[in-house]
Amino acid sequence: MSVLDEIELSIDEFEALRLADLEGLYQEEAAARMEVSRATFARIVAASRKKVATALVQGNALRIGGGPVAFAGERSFRCESCRHDWTLPFGTGRPAGCPACSAREFRRVDAGPGPRSGPSGGRPGKLPARS
Ligand SMILES: [Zn+2]
């Protein structure tokens, strides 16, 4: 294969696609398997489907792997300039720029721990008397 433009599917994109389209899991279940929020999972699946479709239409080589795997406890970033996604563990500080193109225009894309694990509210029953 010559030096065609390669489209790279990161491992988490590949895994998301596998869970959603091959195993046919519901998004909640697939997101839980990957330990990401449902919104994050939906984003990953959408990105991977688009990459696969682009590779098919344009005849690009599709490469799997190489991309960072977004585990829970890591921060995900997306470059606004080249759309590169990457992750960093907590505690390493904000990156100076996109590792792919050095652009400084990037943003956090993960949802973080999320509001789900907030203080236990909504417990049915009596409220403590406030006086
Ligand atoms: Zn970039």
pLDDT digits (tens, 9 = 90+) for 80-110: 999 998 888 777 778 889 999 999 999 888 7
Expressed in angstroms and rounded, the spacing between residue 107 Cα and the centre of ligand 1 is 11
Phi, psi of 17 (to 5 degrees): -65, -40
The CATH number given to 6-114 is 2.20.28.10
Residue spans of the domains in the chain: they are 6-114
Dump pLDDT digits (tens) for 57-86.
Answer: 988 888 877 645 545 567 788 999 999 988
Mark the residues whose beta carbon lies below 5 A from ion ligand 1: 79, 81-82, 84, 98, 100-101, 103
Expressed in angstroms and rounded, the spacing between residue 28 Cα and the centre of ligand 1 is 30
Q: In whole angstroms, what is the distance from residue 76 CA to residue 84 CA? A: 11
Q: In whole angstroms, what is the distance from residue 33 CA to residue 43 CA? A: 15
Report the amino acid identity of residue 50. K
Q: What is the largest CA-CA distance in the chain?
A: 77
Would the pTM of this model clear 0.85, i.e. be above it? no
Expressed in angstroms and rounded, the spacing between residue 81 Cα and the centre of ligand 1 is 5
CA 71, 76, 111, 8 torsion-angle sign: negative
